[in-house]
Amino acid sequence: MISMELYEYVKETYPNICQISASRDGEVFCRETWNGYSFANKVHAASVTKSIIGLLIGIAIEKRLIESENAKVLDFFSNYSIKRGERTIQEITLHHLLTMTAPYKFKSEPWTKVCTSENWTKEVLDLLGGRKGLTGDFKYSTLGIQILSAIITKVSQMPTIEFANKYLFEPLGIERRQSISVHSKEEHIEFVTSKSPKKAVWYCDSSGIASAGFGLCLSADEMLKIGQMCLDKGIYGYKRVVSAEWIERMLSPKVSCGEKFGYMKYGYLWWIVDEEKQIFSAIGDGGNIIYINGAKNIVVSITSTFKPLVFDRIEFIQKHIEPLAGVQ
């Protein structure tokens, strides 16, 4: 559905792209694959996972399993023993986790310590807080939001994956996800960096709690459905999946992210690319992206194999994919 010239351009210039799906007004105008991938194959979507967690928290609030995003984190972990002298953690809310403004007692994320532990949630809770208090500063964390997945599991009394299957994936016609876990650092790295197609899985810790910051495997077609549902204010196939109120709150800017993040703003685990033009994105490592342009009624999804420091997907979409929709 694209020209041979564009197909070859993507192949040469963006060699890790596997799938592209794009629609305008709900009608697909661009759909293509590269690198031997089929449309049915899944790719590790990396931090796009975070944005899915953002949707699931909204669903949990709508179902009154969670009072609101202003609920305090420790309200869900009554048996957690607060470390001596730690005060900040007692004031941290879901809002802080959703906006990446929660404080942590680390400079760089302790991947090995957390991911080799038997209880990721406890390890992350131990890292939450600190002497500086609630500064409101944006601190992007993949491991830190693991707490949100544990909360979904607690309040719903079902694994996060099953909650997602029942209330998000199945209503969107997306294949049920299955859990997958690994047993060594080497297997973890292989899962994240492998260029081979993935199955319909979601990475979990050793206790079966789905990873909140990464680990969900999706196809571009599936990501397109998620983006279309968000564009349509929570409606898909004439059925409500997520409340319109939550979609609006989720995609409203809460914090500015600075030069390192392209001066974008952040909502609830979604990026606000351009508030005036209603452009929002779920963005993952390697260039995985769900791109929503509300002003043009366009949704674009791209899956890609792992490649560090890919920051050009939005520019690529606006320059090469959006024009195919025939709108200015």
For 87-140, write each residue's pLDDT tens digit. 899 999 999 999 999 999 998 999 988 988 888 999 999 999 988 899 999 999
Q: Tell me if 59 is assigned to some domain.
A: no
Per-residue pLDDT band at 245 (split at 50, 70, 90):
very high
Residues spanned by the domain of 188: 4-48+158-325
Give the CA radius of gyration of the chain. 19
Tokens 């990475």 locate to 203
Q: Tell me if 54 is assigned to some domain.
A: no
Does 178 lie in the same domain as 292? yes
Counting beta carbons within 10 angstroms of the beta carbon of residue 105, is it exposed (0 to 12), middle (13 to 18) or buried (19 or more)? middle
Does 277 lie in the same domain as 217? yes
**CATH of residue 166:** 3.40.710.10
Does 33 lie in the same domain as 167? yes
Does 226 lie in the same domain as 201? yes
Give the CA count within 13 Å in the CB-facing half-sphere of 210. 30
Q: Apex CA 155: angle with CA 239 and CA 93, to 5°?
A: 100
User: For residue 172, which amino acid is it?
Assistant: L
Does 37 lie in the same domain as 102? no
pLDDT at 328: 66
CA separation, residue 183 to residues 6, 208, 268 (Å): 41, 13, 31
Does 312 lie in the same domain as 173? yes
Q: Tell me if 31 is assigned to some domain.
A: yes
Count of domains forming the chain: 2
CB 278 within 8 A of CB 294: yes
Counting beta carbons within 10 angstroms of the beta carbon of residue 295, is it exposed (0 to 12), middle (13 to 18) or buried (19 or more)? exposed
Q: Residue 178: which residues within 8 A CB-CB, separation 6 or more? A: 161, 199, 200, 201, 202
pLDDT at 248: 98
Q: Tell me if 116 is assigned to some domain.
A: yes
Q: Return phi, psi of residue 319, to 5°.
A: -90, -35
Does 311 lie in the same domain as 250? yes
pLDDT at 84: 84
Which of 149, 169, 200 marks a domain boundary?
149
Judge whether residue 213 has pLDDT over 80.
Answer: yes
Per-residue pLDDT band at 38 (split at 50, 70, 90):
very high
Cα–Cα distance, 163 to 178 (Å, whole number): 12
Section 221-240 average pLDDT: 97
Does 131 lie in the same domain as 86? yes
Q: Tell me if 309 is assigned to some domain.
A: yes
Q: Tell me if 269 is assigned to some domain.
A: yes
Does 248 lie in the same domain as 222? yes
User: For residue 318, which amino acid is it?
Assistant: Q
pLDDT at 184: 83
Section 187-200 average pLDDT: 93
Q: Tell me if 60 is assigned to some domain.
A: no
Phi-psi region of 36 (alpha: psi -120 to 50; beta: other; left: phi over 0): left
Does 287 lie in the same domain as 240? yes
Does 33 lie in the same domain as 180? yes
Which of 149, 166, 192 marks a domain boundary?
149
Q: How many CB atoms lie within 10 A of CB 47?
A: 22
Which of 149, 178, 211 marks a domain boundary?
149
pLDDT at 174: 98
Does 187 lie in the same domain as 38? yes
Q: Tell me if 68 is assigned to some domain.
A: no
Cα–Cα distance, 15 to 34 (Å, whole number): 8
CB 57 within 8 A of CB 147: no
